[in-house]
A and B are shown apart, each in its own frame.
Chain A
Amino acid sequence: MTRWGMVADLERCVGCQTCTASCKHTNATPPAVQWRKVLDLEVGAYPDVKRVFVPVGCMHCEDPPCMHVCPSTATGQRPDGIVTIDYDICIGCAYCAVACPYQARYKVNGPSFAYGGRTGMKNEARREDPARLGVAQKCTFCAERIDYGLANGLTPGIDHEATPACVNSCIADALHFGDFKDPNSNVSKLLEDHQTFRMHTELGTNPGFHYIWKRKNDADPQDEQQVAALFSSGIGSVGAAAPWLQQHWDWRAAGNFIGGGTGSGLMAAMVLGSLSTELPFLHVLIALACIGTGLFLVWLETGRPWRAPLNVFLNPKTSWMSRESMVAGALFPLALLAGWLGSKALLIIAALVAMGFLYCQARMLKASKGIPAWRQPALVRLIITTGLCEGIGLLMVIDSLSAFNYTGLPPALAILLIFRLRSWRAYHKALKVSAPDQTLRVLKILNMPFSLLGHLLPILLIASGYLFVEATPIFGAIAGACALAAGWLFKYQLITRASYNQGYAINHTPERGTGGGGPGGKPGWSTTT
C-alpha cells in the first residue's frame, strides 16, 4: 500500500512563492488560480507576534469531503491516496469547492489570460486546456510525474522527474513528498524526527499534508493529540489568511434553497390545509414552480450545464446533491399526479417526498465542510423548519388572495415559528463557538430583524387575528408574508453573505533555529472549538 503525501517544514519556509510560481508553470494554471500557494499569517499581538509562512493546497485527504459531496463522481481517490478530478465528468457545480475546508479548489468558467485578450500569449495558447473550463480543478500532486517516475523505476520525492513541481522548486527545502505508508521513506523519517501537525484535523478529513513545527527531542510527548494540546490555544489576528466570503455559490444557489424550501414546505402545508378542503391543482403547480425555479437557477450556476442533467445523478451513494436531484425527480411526477387526480393520499406521499427533498437540501449544506455556517448540524433543523414556515406562510398569503380558507394554518404557523425561532437560536448559539468572526458579524446583524419581524411579529399578528376577527385574513396574510420573507432573507444571507469559508489555521508557530515554537493561531476566528 502507498499513501502519497507532503510534509511542509514551517521552520524552513520563507514564503518566497517559488512553489506557487513553479506550480503555475508546470500545470499551466490561469491567472488567480493557485493550486499551491504560501500563506503569510500572523499569530499574536504586537510586540509578541509571530509571522509564519504556510504552504497550502489540496491536502489529498484520506476522507475527502470534496469526493463525498461530488454528485458526478468526477472527484475520485486513487489507491495511492491522490484525490483526482475527472474533467470529462465534472458538471462544475462547485459543491466540492464549498465542501473543501482547505479552499483548495478553483473553477474557471471561461478563458483567462495574463494580459487579457482572446487567445493569450504564445505560451498560454500552447498550454491551454479547454477541458478545464467550467469544471473544478486543484492540485494533483503532479500525478503524471509520479506515474511517469514509477513506470521508469524512479522514486517520487527523491528523483526530481518523479516529484511534484512545487517540491522540486522549493529553494528552502521546506517541501517534501513521499509515501507515508513506507516507514523508511523520506517523509516517514521526517515525521519520526519532528513534531508535526495537520490542519483542521477536527473536521475528520485526515489530510495527507503534514506541517513540521519543531525538531523532536526526548522530552517531547510523542502523541499527536498530546502535542496538539500543548500550544493550540493561540488566537490569530486577522490577515490575508483569514476566511473570506466564498464565491462559488451565489444568489442562484440561494435561489435553490429558497425555492426548494418554500416549494417543499408548501407541499407539506397543503397536506395540512387540504384536510378540510379540496386540493387545488394550482397550489401544487406553485409548489413545483418554486422547486423547479430553484433547480433551474442552480443549474444556471453549473459550469457544464449540458452535462449536469445526467451526471448529477451519478453519486447517490454519498452525495446529497445527487440525492436531492433524485428526490426531485420523483417529486415532480408524484405531485403532478396528486394534483391532477386531486388525490389526498398521493398528496401525502408527494409531501413526504418533498420533505425528503427539503431534508436533502439541509444535508447538502451540512456536508459543506468548507463553510462553517453551513456545516453546523443545528442548521438541518433550521432549514427544515424554515422551509415549513415558508410553505405555510406562502399558503396563508395565497389563502388571503383566493377563496380557500385553511383555518388550521395560522396556529400551525405560530407553532412552527416558535420551533424555527428555537432552531435559529440553537444554530446561532452553536455557531458562536464554531464560526469565523465575519460569519458571526453577518448573523448578528440578521438576528434582530429575523427574530422580531420573522417570528414575533407574525406570531403577534396570528394571535391578534383571534381578537380582531374581521382582520384575521389580512393579519394572516401579513403574518404569512413575514414568515416567508424572513425565511427567504435568512437563506439569502446564509448562502451569499454569511458563507465565509473555513480559512486556515496552524496548531503551532514553528521554532526558528531555537525557541521551540509557540502557540498556533486561526486568523479570522476569535473563538475555536
Chain B
Amino acid sequence: MSKKDQHARREVPTYCYQCVSGPDLLTVGVEDGVATEVQPNFDSASVHPAAGKICVKAYGLIQKTYNPHRIRTPMKRTNPKKGPDEEPGFVPISWDEALDLVAEKLNECRAKGLNDESGYPRVAASFGGGGTPTSYMGTFPAFLGAWGPIDAGFGSGQGVKCYHSEHLYGEFWHRAFTVAPDTPLCQYVLSFGGNVEASGGVCGVKRHADGRARGMKRVQLEPHLSITGACSSEWVPLRPKSDPAFLMAMIHVLLHERKWQELDLDFIRHRTSSPYLLGKFGYYMRDPETRKPLIWDAITDMPVPFDTPGIDPVLEAPFLVEHGIEEGPDGKEWVHINERCQTAWEKLVEHTEPYSPLWASHICDVPVKTIRRIAIEYLEHACIGQTIEIEGRTLPFRPVAITLGKTVNNGWGGFDCCWARTLLACLVGGLEVPGGTLGTTVRLNRPATSRQASVKPSRDGFMEYPMNPTDKENWTSRPDVRNANRTLVPLVANSPWSQALGPTHIAWMLQNATPENWPKPTLPDVWFVYRTNPVISFWDTDSIADTISRFPFTVCFAYTADETNYMADILLPECTDLESLQLIRIGGTKYFEQFWDHQGFALRQPAVQTQVDAQDFTWIATQLAKRTGLLEQYNDAINRGAAGVRLKSDVVDCSLNVDQEHSVEEIWDAVCRAASVEMSNGENQDGLDYYREHGLKVIPYEHLNWYLYPEIEDQGLRFEMPYQERLYRIGKQLANRLHESGISWWDAQLDEYEPLPVWQDFAALWERALEDNFKIDINDYPFWLVTSRSMQYAWGGNVDIQMIREVASNIAGHGGVIINTGRAGELGIANGDLIEISSPLNATRGRAILRQGVRPDTLVMIGQFDHWATPLAKTFEVPSMNKLTPMLLDLTDSTGSGADLVRAGVRLVEKAS
C-alpha cells in the first residue's frame, strides 16, 4: 500500500507491558477496523528513555488479537477428572452462567469463612510476569481488595526465577528491588550472569548500546556466552555458582593487595557501618544510655554514639571501651566493662583474608591473573575523589557497577553475591551515586511510588526496614498463607508483593509432604489464574501438574488453552492487549534500566473491536463484585487507589459513587481525571478522551531522584554495610521461634543469617543435595544445566504467536539444547542430533545445538518450553529444564529462593537426518 494510504488509516496509541522491562509505548495501525501494523510511538520520543522504541514482543500483539486458537467464549469443564491425561471436555457457556458459577463458589467460601480450618485463605490467586498482570487486569485488584484474604503464594516461578536475593537484600540495603548501573555515566560494568540485552527492555538495550559507543567496558562472567555476553567487551566463562567466590576474591584484592587509601575511605567511614564497634558476641557495642552503636572518634579519641556531630570515625586501632552493652536476640543483653573491641571494618578485613584470587581461581575455573586484573580494573575505573553536579547538587562520581543475573541471584550463594556486590560498591563509594550501582524501585517498602520517601531512619542510623516480626509476641507462628512467607522470611516484609516473593515453591512442596509441626496443607477452594502457567514455568512440572489437578475449583482468565488451564473448571476469556482499557503509571525509575526524566500515565485502549466473546477485565471484576455482594467495597477500593490512582485528592474529588455499578469507561474516565489532577495539583482534569487521543500524559521527573545517596546524606544515614548485625539478631530470634514450635527443618536456612557471609562450596552443596535426595552418583550427571532468557519470549506469555516463534528462531538455542562443540564431539553428538538430557529427577529430549560459546561442563536450555497443551507451542519439541529441576528444601535458601540449576547427563538418541 502507498504511504498516502497509510496516512488515511487510523493510528491508535497504546502500550505493551508484556514484560517487566516495559511499558513500551506504541501505535497500532488500523485499516478498516483491522489492526495491521505495530510501530514505535514516535510522538513519545522526547519523553521516553528509548525514544519511543518498542521491543520485539510488542510486534506479536496483532497475531495475538486474531489468533484462531483463542478461547472464543466462556467455557465450563465437563470432565470432573483433572490431569494432563484427562481431556477437560470444555463446553461453551454464557457469561452470565460463567460468572454465576464463579460467584456461587465465592459465596460458598464467604459463607464458610474466608480462611479454612488450617487458617489459610480459601481463595488463592496466581499471577505471573513479575507483576505485569496488574497492568492488564483492570480493576481486578480492587475486587481482590474488597474480598479480603487471598493466598497469592502459589508461585509460578517467582522466588526462583526472579532476582530474588536482590529483591530482598537490595531493598534492605539500598531500596533496590532490582539493581542497575547508572549506565549513562558508567564506564565499567561487571555483569555476573546478568542479561540486560535480553531482559532489560528497550531502555536497557539503548542505554548499554550508548555506553558501548562511548567506550564503556563491560565484562560478562557466566558459563555460557549469552546475548549480553556477546555484546560485552570480555567474556569470562566461570563455573556455575562460583560467582560468590569471584566476588569475594575481588574484595580480597581491594582489602589485602591494594592500599586502603586507594578506596573511598570517606564513604566507608561516614556512609557505612564500617566504624561501628563490635562486642565479643558479634553485636554492636552500644552506648548504655542511648543504646546507640558506638564509633571510635579520632578527635576525642573515645567511643561516641554513631550520630554524634562532628566526629571523625576511626576504622582501625585497638579499642578499649570502658562501658558498653551488646543487644542480642529476644531482649538478651550483655554489659561490658573495659572491653577490647574490633570495628566492623577490622572484622571484615580479617574475614576476607582467606579469600584470595588463588583460592577463587580453583573454584571459578578462572586464571588468578584474570580475577586480579578485573578487581584492579574495577578499582581504577571508580574515579575515587571525583564529583559531578546533578541538577545543582554536587555528588560523588563513581562510574563502576556490578550487576547480578538470575541463578546468581537465586538460592544458596545469592545472599553472598548481593552482599559482596553491595560491599564492592561501598568500598569505592559507588553505591547510589552517579555512575555507580543504583536501585531502581521499591516493592516491599512503602510508598511504592518513591524510593526516597521510603527512607526512614532506624535507631542504629540505617534505613528502617519493615521486617516480618520475629519476636515472641508478634511472630506469625501460624502461617497466614500456604507458603508461610511471613513466618519463615522476615526480609520479605508484608507488602502486597510479599506473598509472591515468599518461598513460593514451598506452597507446592508442602502439598505433597507436611513437615514436622506444621499446619495441615489444604487446597484453596477457589484459585484464580491469570497470565501465568505454573505447570510449565515452575520446577518439577510433573508434580506441579499433579497438585493443580487436585485443586477443586480453578478459574483461569484464558487467552488460549495452556497446560495450567487444561485443569481449570472455568475459562474466562478477557479482552486482550489491543482490545481493552486501562490507565497505568509510567516513568520515574523502575525495573532494570527504566530511568526516566518524566513520569505520568499511559492508556491501553481498544485499537480494534473484541474479536471473540471476551470481556474487559474491569467489567469482569465489576460483575464478580456485584454477584458477591461486594460492589460497595469494590468501588471504595477503586476510590482508594486500587486502580493505580486515588480518586479523591485534597483539591479535586473524582470518586465513584460506591453504591452503583459503573461501566468500564466510567471507571477509567474517573481514574484518568484523577491522574490528571495528581499531575497538575488539580489544575487539569483531562479524562479518558484526552488519553484516548494522546495515549499518555507526563510531567518532569527530577534526575536527582535516580540516586538514593542524596536522601541518605540529607538524613545523615549510613548504608547497612558490611556488617549484618540486624540480620544476625533476627536470625537468632527466628531460630528461637521455630525451635520453640518444634520446627528444625529450617535450620540450614537459619545458618545463613550471618554477620559476614562465610564461604560455602555451593557447587558441592548442589551435588550433595541431589545425591542425598535421589540416591544417585553425581558422576552420572556430569553437566551443569542452566537456562537463559530469550528476549523474544521473556515474560511475554507469547509462546503461541507464530511470528515470535519465527523471528526467535534466528537466535541460536531456541530449537533445542546448547552444548559445547568440542564436548559434543567427544560424545559423538553432532548439530541437530536428538539427545536425551536426564537429571536425577526426570529426563527430557531435544535437538543438540553445538556452540563454541558455552563451557564444556554446561548445557543451556533457553526459555521455558516443553508445552503439551498450548496451541502451536506443543509442536515445538523444545525441552525445558523446568521438568528436570527438583524442588528441594536442601536447595532452598533463607529467603525461600532456589536457583535454576541442576546436574544433568546426556545421551545420544538419534542422529540428525
The number of residues on chain B lying at the interface, defined by a beta carbon within 8 Å of a beta carbon of chain A, is 76
B111 within 8 A of A: no
**CB 8 Å contact bits of A51-93 with B (1 = contact, 0 = none):** 1110000000000000000000000000000000000000000
B39 within 8 A of A: yes
Give the nearest-CB partner of B230 in chain A.
A51
A441 within 8 A of B: no
Give the nearest-CB partner of B856 in chain A.
A46
Cβ of B202: which chain A residues have Cβ within 8 Å of it? 171
A123 within 8 A of B: yes
In the complex, the answer to whether B854 meets A40 with C-beta atoms within 8 Å is no
B787 within 8 A of A: no
CB of A286, distance to nearest CB on chain B (Å): 39
A12 within 8 A of B: yes
In the complex, the answer to whether A51 meets B229 with C-beta atoms within 8 Å is yes
**CB 8 Å contact bits of B230-242 with A (1 = contact, 0 = none):** 1111110100000
In the complex, the answer to whether B50 meets A161 with C-beta atoms within 8 Å is no
A514 within 8 A of B: yes
How many A residues touch the partner, as a band?
35 or more
**Given contacts A14-B205, A127-B36, A145-B3, A115 and B68 within 8 Å (CB-CB):** yes
**CB 8 Å contact bits of A367-390 with B (1 = contact, 0 = none):** 000000000000000000000000
Cβ of B265: which chain A residues have Cβ within 8 Å of it? none
A47 within 8 A of B: yes
B853 within 8 A of A: yes
In the complex, the answer to whether B218 meets A513 with C-beta atoms within 8 Å is yes
Complex Cα distance, B67 from A362, in Å, reads 48
Interface of chain B residues 795 through 811 with chain A (CB within 8 A)? 802-804, 806-808, 810-811
A20 within 8 A of B: yes
Complex Cα distance, B1 from A148, in Å, reads 12
Contact partner of B852 (CB less than 8 A), chosen from A11, A15, A21, A45, is A45
**CB 8 Å contact bits of B191-235 with A (1 = contact, 0 = none):** 000000110001001100111110111100000010101111111
Contact partner of A20 (CB less than 8 A), chosen from B232, B810, B831, is B810
In the complex, the answer to whether A46 meets B853 with C-beta atoms within 8 Å is yes
Cβ of B66: which chain A residues have Cβ within 8 Å of it? 121-124
Interface SS of A by simple majority: mixed
Q: Which of A27-35, A102-110, A459-467 contacts B (4 or more CB under 8 A)?
A: A27-35
**Given contacts A46-B821, A49-B853, A17 and B53 within 8 Å (CB-CB):** no
Interface of chain B residues 15 through 31 with chain A (CB within 8 A)? 31
Cβ of A174: which chain B residues have Cβ within 8 Å of it? 209
B792 within 8 A of A: yes
Give the nearest-CB partner of A39 in chain B.
B810
B395 within 8 A of A: no
In the complex, the answer to whether A44 meets B852 with C-beta atoms within 8 Å is yes
Interface SS of B by simple majority: mixed
Cβ of B38: which chain A residues have Cβ within 8 Å of it? 22, 25
Cβ of B453: which chain A residues have Cβ within 8 Å of it? none
**Given contacts A122-B66, A513-B217, A172 and B209 within 8 Å (CB-CB):** yes
**Given contacts A42-B852, A122-B66, A144-B2, A15 and B227 within 8 Å (CB-CB):** yes
A117 within 8 A of B: yes
Contact partner of B225 (CB less than 8 A), chosen from A20, A49, A161, is A49
**Given contacts A44-B852, A115-B872, A160 and B42 within 8 Å (CB-CB):** yes
Complex Cα distance, B810 from A32, in Å, reads 11
In the complex, the answer to whether A25 meets B225 with C-beta atoms within 8 Å is no
Cβ of A127: which chain B residues have Cβ within 8 Å of it? 1, 36
CB of A501, distance to nearest CB on chain B (Å): 17
Contact partner of A40 (CB less than 8 A), chosen from B54, B229, B812, B856, is B812
Interface of chain A residues 160 through 176 with chain B (CB within 8 A)? 160-161, 165, 168-174
**Which of A22, A123, A174, A513 gathers the greatest number of chain B CB atoms within 10 Å?**
A513
In the complex, the answer to whether A512 meets B40 with C-beta atoms within 8 Å is no
CB of A149, distance to nearest CB on chain B (Å): 8
Q: Which of B56-64, B149-157, B503-511, B677-685 contacts A (4 or more CB under 8 A)?
A: B56-64
A515 within 8 A of B: yes
In the complex, the answer to whether A46 meets B854 with C-beta atoms within 8 Å is yes
CB of B373, distance to nearest CB on chain A (Å): 13
In the complex, the answer to whether B803 meets A114 with C-beta atoms within 8 Å is yes
Complex Cα distance, B229 from A161, in Å, reads 34
In the complex, the answer to whether B225 meets A51 with C-beta atoms within 8 Å is yes
Contact partner of B831 (CB less than 8 A), chosen from A24, A46, A53, A238, is A238
CB of A279, distance to nearest CB on chain B (Å): 50
B35 within 8 A of A: yes
**Given contacts A11-B213, A239-B812, A513-B217, A169 and B806 within 8 Å (CB-CB):** no
Cβ of A9: which chain B residues have Cβ within 8 Å of it? 213
Complex Cα distance, B230 from A250, in Å, reads 37
In the complex, the answer to whether B68 meets A161 with C-beta atoms within 8 Å is no
- What are 27 A-B contacts defined by CB distance under 8 Å? A11-B212, A14-B198, A15-B810, A17-B56, A20-B810, A25-B59, A39-B810, A42-B851, A51-B853, A117-B68, A121-B63, A123-B36, A123-B63, A124-B66, A126-B32, A148-B4, A160-B40, A171-B55, A172-B206, A173-B206, A215-B213, A238-B831, A512-B212, A512-B230, A512-B231, A513-B211, A514-B216
Q: Which residues of B contact A (CB under 8 A)?
A: 1-4, 31-32, 34-40, 42, 50, 53-56, 59-60, 62-63, 65-69, 197-198, 202, 205-206, 209-213, 215-218, 225, 227, 229-235, 237, 611, 791-792, 802-804, 806-808, 810-812, 820-822, 831, 850-856, 872
16 additional A-B pairs beyond A14-B230, A115-B872, A172-B206, beta carbons within 8 Å, are A14-B209, A15-B227, A16-B197, A17-B811, A18-B55, A31-B806, A34-B806, A42-B225, A49-B235, A115-B69, A121-B66, A147-B3, A148-B3, A160-B42, A171-B206, A515-B233
Q: Which residues of A contact B (CB under 8 A)?
A: 9, 11-12, 14-18, 20-22, 24-26, 28, 31-32, 34, 37-40, 42, 44-47, 49-53, 114-115, 117, 121-124, 126-127, 144-145, 147-149, 160-161, 165, 168-174, 215, 237-240, 511-515
